[in-house]
Amino acid sequence: MSMVQITLPDGSLRDFSGPVTVAEVAASIGTGLAKAALGGKVNGQLVDTSFIMAADAKLSIITAKDPEGLELIRHSSAHLLAYAVKSLFPDAQVTIGPVIDNGFYYDFSYSRPFTPEDLVAIEKKMADLAAKDEPVVRRVLPRDEAVAYFNSLGEHYKAEIIGSIPAGEEVSLYREGEFEDLCRGPHVPSTGKLKHFKLMKVAGAYWRGDSKNEMLQRVYGTAWASKEDLQLYLTRLEEAERRDHRKLGRELDLFHIDEHAPGLVFWHPKGWTVWQTVEQFMRQVYRDSGYQEVKGPQLLDKTLWEKTGHWDKYRDNMFTTESEKRDYALKPMNCPGHILIFKQGMKSYRDLPLRYGEFGQCHRNEPSGGLHGIMRVRGFTQDDGHIFCTENQILPECDDFTKVLKKVYADFGFNNILYKVSTRPAARIGSDELWDKAEKALMDSLRHSGCDFVISEGDGAFYGPKIEYTLKDAIGREWQCGTIQVDFNLSERLDAEYVAEDGSRQRPVILHRAIVGSMERFIGILVEQHAGALPTWLAPVQISVLNITDAQADYCREIAAKLQKSVSNQGLRVELDLRNEKITYKIREHSLQKLPFILVAGDKEKAAGTVAVRARGNKDLGVMSIDAFIEHIAADIASKA
């Protein structure tokens, strides 16, 4: 029997007299590690602790502290869920149960819908089975034998899955107690490793994602390495629910989604005020950054989309129509229109960089199941821009863009930004020299702006590399919004060119850039970031003026009129409430609308020409003159706090 040498992550070596399992190596290091081991990484491959190493290998012991350990916990929790369901509902058939972000799910076929009470019982059963600490044991069967085995159990979905595997191949099964499931693995060594989980909800899901197939029941769960991590996640979920833009959109009367226009937004006056505030702010950013605003048509002939490649590769996601025997599509993006504008009249190298910006409305035929409030819609508006430049201008343009983007995000209250550079994929156009120059320009632009970044190898588009800018919100969620993409392709496809300094005709490089991305989605993010309590400069109503009795009605009207004409002649957004209601009732009602300021006037205030000022969060700012309050709110707006 030959010796087996195991190399550990710290470079140390361990020699064994023959084949050895991951669990045995862990035990040789220490009892604590042996107990904590959930799996192993052998020569980079994730495996069970029972995996046998018969030759020299590099090994990392995986515990709950490792990301892979958490994945093992969640994968095994999905199987524990299936075990519990089969224990309680023997007639249920199991299908698939993958790991997803923050948890797992498992799809079941059963004669009736699972109820909330069923979910409670299933979770309790999972806990009971975990407490048994039953070993999770792997075995391998030939494909046809596995098909016959699952058919004999009445598990026809599993048999169908295995039947799709090529003949002659083997499949792995994992058993825990009385339950055995098809799975590639790996899994935790025993059910006792699964302690911190919770079932979240039940939803419908078609078998194999096809609406022609049976509707299954998808049970979602979450699982974590510790009780504290589980509780933190549940608390984050509660906070996310409190901040849900759909709920706040209704409560604050901002917008609604209607079944007559799925995936499209009906903006109410208050919501449209927020939209206009964001748009006008971004329009000023355009102007300050040297962009010329343009506007392209919504409907474009199919011949254009054939040239860009969208008709062949993206047609299912486009809304199309026909008129007078010509096919058209609603634009899913603004780039082709901007190139057609660029092509009007010959451009010179002296015209470059040429920057076009558009608040362009786009439509994409997203699946109805993927729609989510105003975060994922079928009709959206982008703060879209395209920079037509030379290769040597890529770096300064990207550098300037990142600096502007950071300032814009800070103004909206986002100071935590993640940066990712996506580099050349295997299938691409353009020379390696050009890709080298573009990738270096993107990275250098981030370095110049003092931004740490990660590189995502091979994730660039076939036409060029890109930077993705991701926001981190108040509760730690990440939202990818901004982007700048280098494009060597579209100017060739659509025959865009300029006259170079030597008189030759050259193709411009196109930089596709957006800061907020989808306006709808960004406003949804803002609402959730601020839990509906938008900063004063963004708030749809900034001030509510309230009288105590009818005797102050005219005085309150004078206050409102003065405020509406103040602050650099832009005016403040004021609501006047002269209803014959108790002042405490009116204050509470306006507070629930998350207004930045409430002004109250009674007889004393009227006599003195003042107002009592309350700020959001039930803060009493005392009595002020109108001019003093105008100075106060003007400073608040200017600071964008």
Pair of tokens at residue 83 = 């075990």
Spot the catalytic one: 355, 364, 437, 606: 364
Long-range CB contact pairs, 27-33, < 8 A, 24+:
29/61, 33/61, 33/63
Q: Give CA–CA dist 111/145, Å, rounded.
A: 28
CB 343 within 8 A of CB 528: no
Q: Give CA–CA dist 544/614, Å, rounded.
A: 10
CB 479 within 8 A of CB 515: no
Place of tokens 């995986």: 62
Spot the catalytic one: 183, 335, 398, 481: 335
CB 308 within 8 A of CB 463: no
Continuous segment of H or E residues that includes residue 498 = strand 498-499
Q: Which residues contact 112 (CB under 8 A, 6 or more apart)?
A: none
Q: What 3 state SS string does 585-618 have? A: HHHHHHHHCCCCEEEEECHHHHHHCEEEEEECCC
Q: Which of 496, 432, 481, 435 has its CA nearest to residue 460?
A: 435
β-pairing, 466-472 with 196-206?
unpaired
Give the burial class of 152: count Cβ atoms within 10 A of its Cβ; 0-12 exposed, 13-18 middle, 19 or more buried: exposed
Spot the catalytic one: 79, 310, 363, 466: 466
Spot the catalytic one: 512, 586, 594, 606: 512
Spot the catalytic one: 93, 382, 393, 593: 382
H helices of 289-334, in order, are: 302-308, 310-313
Q: What are the counts of helices (DSSP H) followed by strands (DSSP E) for the chain? A: 20, 36
- Write the DSSP string, 133-162: T-BEEEEEEEHHHHHHHHHHTT-HHHHHHH
Per the annotation, the verdict on 183 as an active-site residue is no
Q: Which residues contact 170 (CB under 8 A, 6 or more apart)?
A: 140, 141, 142, 143
Q: Which residues contact 567 (CB under 8 A, 6 or more apart)?
A: 630, 633, 634, 637
Continuous segment of H or E residues that includes residue 126 = helix 116-131
Per the annotation, the verdict on 530 as an active-site residue is no
DSSP 225: S
Per the annotation, the verdict on 382 as an active-site residue is yes
Pair of tokens at residue 240 = 């996310």
Give the burial class of 541: count Cβ atoms within 10 A of its Cβ; 0-12 exposed, 13-18 middle, 19 or more buried: buried
> Residue 142: is the preceding peptide bond cis (ω within 30°)?
no
Residues pairing with 522 in the sheet? none
Q: What is the dihedral of CA 30, 33, 37, 41, to 10 degrees?
A: -80
Spot the catalytic one: 218, 310, 386, 590: 386
CB 17 within 8 A of CB 1: yes
Per the annotation, the verdict on 554 as an active-site residue is no
Per the annotation, the verdict on 466 as an active-site residue is yes
Residues of the chain by 3-state class (helix, strand, coil), percent to 5: 40, 30, 30
Spot the catalytic one: 48, 107, 118, 384: 384
Residues recognised as catalytic: 335, 364, 382, 384, 386, 466, 512
